[in-house]
Chains A and B, each alone.
Chain A
Amino acid sequence: MNQPFPISKLGTNAVDVDIRNVDLSYGTNHVLKGIDLHIRPGEFFAFLGPSGCGKTTLLRLIAGFNQADGGEVLVGGRDVSRLPPWKRDVGMVFQSYALWPHMTVRRNVAFGLEERKVPRSEIDRRVAAALELVGLAHLADRRPSQLSGGQQQRVAVARTIAIEPKVLLLDEPLSNLDAKMRVQVRRELRDLQQRLGLTTIFVTHDQEEANTICDRIAVMNDGVVQQVGTPMELYEKPANLFVANFLGTANILPGRVVHEGGERFFDIDGGVRLPIPAQVVVPEGAKLVFRPQHASLAGHGAGDVLLPGIIVHSEFLGSTLRYVVRIGAAEVSIDTPFHSGETLHQPGTSVEISLSLRSALWLAA
């Protein structure tokens, strides 16, 4: 990037996006339910969730392709809810890239500027700069059909940022790329976003993608935002079972709380009992949740409680060993570091599991 690119100025005046109590239904199908989100200026933000959770609908709503039944969307403090898509200045990169086959790469990128009646010389300069930015200046006169998937994706990005949008929306931008390209392109996207300082919203169903490039994530399910936070917060402190399960592997032990002699115990379904520390708040109907690395086979680490179990399955994963252990009626995964010379426990072996209750969570629903 030797050439100064005009867009880089934008970083200083990046805007925030405020989504307030947005509701949307298609007939009887309630797709978005009271969404409240605040995306900070210059933030790389992800909507993460399984397919059908409403994340793409929400993104399209910000772009103006869906109309909310209630609530509003503010971009940089301005309510854009009633504006048509072409007046929002919200750049979107489509999942399919949506490059127009009848135009060259250059014409594709110039399109938005032409629509804005930017002077020709300025258009040429900015198109060149945008293509330079994505490293495709040498392919400007090709047709989209003559480009590879990764190149098409970069043209789509260049086309969008050429108009210097206030916000950049990315709709599953990596889904049409192969695994290797995906890793490379997501780094490029992150770099680009950092350089431009552009408020960016990214839609994905892949937690790894979201974790690696986003500042904050909104986890969505069933039209509701489940939790908002940094990738680590979400991993460490999931607000509910859904979040816990969707981000990384979570062991979930169902059971019930029993009071006996002034003390509380958790009876795991299948007959295993463990004490509940005094200060811990256990919501009604909660389940015990812990990550595989928060427990170990007895003798390998210091836990708070010991639970009896039987090894069902064991895997050697290189730096760790993973055991699937039956505790009561449930099966849990347990990761222990691999030490040289160690042997795997065979399935059927009875073991004791040492669990750190400080790291464990009690989550209802």
Chain B
Amino acid sequence: MLRHSVATAALIGTALFTGAAFAQSGKVTVVTSFSKDVTDPFKQAFEKAHPGVTLDVQNRNTNAGVKFLEETKANNQVDIFWASAPDAFEVLKSKSLLQKHKPKAEGIPDKIGSYPINDPENLYSGFAASGYGIMWNDRYAKANKLPEPKDWQDLAKPVYFDHVAMAAPSRSGTTHLTIETILQGEGWEQGWRTLKEVSGNFRQITERSFGVPEAVNSGQVGFGIVIDFFAFSAQASGFPVKFVYPTVTTIVPANVAVVANAPNKAGAEAFVDYLVSPAGQEVLLEPSIRRLPVNPAVYAKAPADYPNPFKDPSLGARVKFDVNVSEKRTNVVDVLYDQTVTFQLDALKAATKAIHDAEAAIAKKDNADAKALVKEARDLVAVMPVTEQQASSSEITGAFTGGKEKGARQAELEQQWAAFAKERYQQAQAKAEQALKLAR
């Protein structure tokens, strides 16, 4: 019976289906999280530069892509992994799923902003960079009479309450980098304070990176914390959106790597080399792609207002970034954010709203006791269940990586952290409400 339907399938197959070739010579298979807008121009340019070679692009989100490589490593069919998030490459690297390749390109510096472009062991290479910033829907802002933000701290202002969106750092490698940059730049405690103050204004924390620009484009959310090219490509498509780089911008690289045991290793290396070659770098300047080349010389061909991280010190240069620190606590930071912010957003927003109301009342009618209460409330919101040292300790990090030894289980830690945050948000809300009564 099954055989019968398979036979039917084969029949229909030959009629409809021209037959996919499985091992075509000169085919380079790419798994990427980049959209068609990015991959299509590169595919054309690369195939033109290397006649006879075809680029087969498989579109997957970063997480699914990593999962895919992991699950199929026994019989790998993929040549290239191509995505933004460096942490995804770190994971692949730690599982020995990447292959060493040093691109034969010249004139590429070690760092863009404060972030190293290439993996020190050459397992993956940066080919472009993007800056994080704030994108907003102009019609939305005008209809709600909201001012244009200029800096991260602006988004913590009461006026933006319930108007902002961001992707969850656990789901978006680039958002994770932004969070990590703030934590390193401002220090663990102050960094979390800033993050929670901004997050208290969030309307939503999306599960996909593209969820944020999508919501801003359609006007469901006013403001989004996004990578610049999302905003630029939206503008190019005609959406009424604006974008600004805050004074301190994180620069996040986009990477490419040859996959271990690539069936077409030569082709794969050719593609990586092409990406960082001047010709490949120029493709980045196309309006539909619009990413920052890692080769400073290419900026000469860019339009006048094109941001240049190698010249403009506000683009990343002011930020310190320690890759080792970041790497160690990646999972801990993500889970901390999820447990204390993403999954406690209602409680956090309630506390934030109460604090805003109390502060507004105090601004009208000063009251020292109320002020003290609000400060307490803010501290309660900001406090974290783990210290910076604990976050990097092996007892805690081990809970997430499934180490060989017995230890704390992820679920246990998560429950502790979530309960910790929720309790404090509720206390903060109570204190702020008390302050509001006093200030009335």
Touching chains A and B, CB distance < 8 Å: no
Chain B interface (Cβ < 8 Å from any Cβ of A): none
